[in-house]
């Protein structure tokens, strides 16, 4: 249930409403917006008569949230969530660019690519240290050694970092070195992991599962929010369909849908969505036009010899050229890069 307070509601009136809701057995989430305060009351109370709240002083309106995801929904929180990490804002007017290799491979590679990312004006460096590979015989990532390399490369270039966490046991070590947790497509419904990430302080980027509906994806975000971490961003990375010309099918329409039904920032990952470098720039341009709050793009200085996802990595010069195009598209829709 969402309780919208009058613009003129006093502090005492708001406290009184909260007290009543708590007495009725609801869990409270207050959000103080620019215009007015909205209180989310969570808890299933079949047959609860909303008039009991509507008549309280200071209340403008009360309505039920019909979507199964509550805290992730727009009706729960009207203002868009803007996540602040160091001096970077995700979900604001500026479209945030995240770039880097699929996997952290060596010091030389990471320092080289971090410099490219920084020179391009992108703010966030990516790189996997714990890799979810389809084959157990493929490169599994450098682990903690890789995290140290990425942290050092990011510090030198004033970048924020993101890396994938695959299991609960990796949370502490990743939190020590890295700014944002990434939950990969294969782990979108690892609810035990999501609950633990909800108890951490750092932002989480939740990728859409390989065969997840938008509602299932938002329910997974709800697990993180419900456990206390409000800093969740979503990432569309393509879904599995019958098509074989692409690695996955990029669900571009998920971007405006999520923007409408949720307040959480949406990032698009055209690299994993397509799997082929020639398809990445067109889909990156489309994602910006569709309203994504950010892009995650894999780059590599030597893709032929990359230890993972070489075929979808952009060469640094191609990435730089793409950004110039993206800037024009962003401007056309009154955003910035």
Binding site for ligand PEP (CB under 6 A): 102, 128, 132, 164, 184-186, 207, 237, 272
Give the nearer residue to Mn ion in terms of CB position, either 166 or 330. Answer: 166
Q: Contact positions toward Mn ion, by CB under 5 A? A: 102, 309
Tracing tokens 């971007």 back to the chain, one arrives at: 255
Give the nearer residue to ligand PEP in terms of CB position, either 208 or 263. Answer: 208
Q: Work out how close the CB of 16 gets to ligand PEP at its nearest, in angstroms, rounded to a whole number.
A: 46
Q: Which two tokens stand for residue 184?
A: 């990969």
Contact of residue 179 among ligand PEP, Mn ion, none (CB under 5-8 Å per partner type): none
Q: Work out how close the CB of 183 gets to ligand PEP at its nearest, in angstroms, rounded to a whole number.
A: 8
Give the nearer residue to ligand PEP in terms of CB position, either 77 or 126. Answer: 126
Q: Are 335 and 93 in contact (CB under 8 A)?
A: yes
Give the nearer residue to Mn ion in terms of CB position, either 4 or 102. Answer: 102
Outline where DSSP puts E strands in 166-240: 180-183, 204-207, 232-236
Q: Work out how close the CB of 100 gets to Mn ion at its nearest, in angstroms, rounded to a whole number.
A: 10
Contact of residue 185 among Mn ion, ligand PEP, none (CB under 5-8 Å per partner type): ligand PEP
Tally of CB atoms within 10 A around 207: 25
d(CA 53, CA 119): 54
Number of H helices, E strands in the chain: 11, 14
Give the nearer residue to ligand PEP in terms of CB position, either 38 or 283. Answer: 283
Backbone angles phi, psi at 192, to 5 degrees: -65, -40
Contact of residue 184 among Mn ion, ligand PEP, none (CB under 5-8 Å per partner type): ligand PEP
* Cβ-closest position to ligand PEP: 184
Contact of residue 209 among ligand PEP, Mn ion, none (CB under 5-8 Å per partner type): none
- b/e sequence 133-153, b meaning 16+ C-beta within 10 Å: eeeeeeebbbeeebbbbbbeb
Cα of 152 vs its chain's centroid, Å: 24
Q: Work out how close the CB of 159 gets to ligand PEP at its nearest, in angstroms, rounded to a whole number.
A: 17
Run of H or E including 12: helix 11-23
Question: Which is nearest to 337 in space by CA: 316, 318, 320, 323?
Answer: 323
Contact of residue 207 among ligand PEP, Mn ion, none (CB under 5-8 Å per partner type): ligand PEP
Question: Which is nearest to 256 in space by CA: 298, 230, 224, 288?
Answer: 288
Contact of residue 121 among ligand PEP, Mn ion, none (CB under 5-8 Å per partner type): none
d(CA 210, CA 136): 19
Contact of residue 113 among ligand PEP, Mn ion, none (CB under 5-8 Å per partner type): none
Backbone angles phi, psi at 205, to 5 degrees: -100, 120
Give the nearer residue to Mn ion in terms of CB position, either 56 or 129. Answer: 129
Q: Are 134 and 333 in contact (CB under 8 A)?
A: no
Q: Work out how close the CB of 315 gets to ligand PEP at its nearest, in angstroms, rounded to a whole number.
A: 18
Give the nearer residue to ligand PEP in terms of CB position, either 70 or 272. Answer: 272
């Amino acid at each position: 249930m969402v309780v919208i307070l009058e613009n003129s509601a006093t502090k005492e009136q708001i406290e009184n409403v909260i007290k009543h809701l708590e007495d009725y057995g609801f869990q409270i989430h207050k959000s103080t917006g620019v215009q007015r305060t909205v209180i989310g009351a969570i808890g299933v109370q079949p047959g609860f008569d909303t008039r009991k709240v509507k008549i309280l002083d200071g209340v403008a309106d009360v309505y039920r949230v019909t979507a199964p995801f509550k805290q992730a929904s727009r009706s729960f929180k009207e203002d868009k969530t803007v996540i602040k990490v160091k001096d970077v804002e995700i979900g604001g007017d500026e479209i945030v660019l995240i770039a880097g290799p699929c996997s952290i491979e060596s010091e030389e590679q990471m320092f080289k690519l971090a410099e490219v990312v920084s020179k391009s004006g992108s703010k966030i460096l990516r790189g996997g240290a714990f890799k979810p590979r389809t084959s157990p015989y493929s490169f599994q990532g450098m682990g903690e050694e890789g995290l140290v390399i990425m942290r050092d490369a990011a510090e030198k270039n004033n970048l924020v970092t993101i890396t994938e966490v695959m299991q609960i046991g990796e949370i502490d070590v990743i939190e020590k070195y890295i700014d944002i947790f990434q939950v990969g497509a294969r782990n979108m419904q690892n609810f035990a992991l999501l609950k633990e990430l909800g108890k951490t302080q750092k932002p989480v980027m939740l990728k859409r599962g390989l065969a997840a509906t938008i509602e299932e994806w938002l329910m997974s975000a709800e697990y993180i929010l419900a456990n206390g971490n409000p800093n969740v961003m979503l990432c569309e990375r393509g879904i599995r369909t019958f098509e074989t010309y692409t690695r996955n099918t990029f669900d571009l329409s998920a971007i405006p849908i999520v923007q409408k039904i949720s307040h959480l920032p949406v990032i698009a990952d055209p690299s994993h969505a397509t799997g082929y470098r020639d398809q990445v720039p067109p889909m990156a341009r489309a994602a910006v036009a569709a309203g994504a709050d950010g892009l995650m793009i894999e780059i590599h200085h030597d893709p032929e010899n990359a230890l993972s996802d070489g075929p979808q990595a952009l060469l640094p010069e191609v990435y730089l050229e793409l950004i110039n195009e993206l800037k024009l598209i962003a401007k056309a829709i009154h955003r910035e890069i």
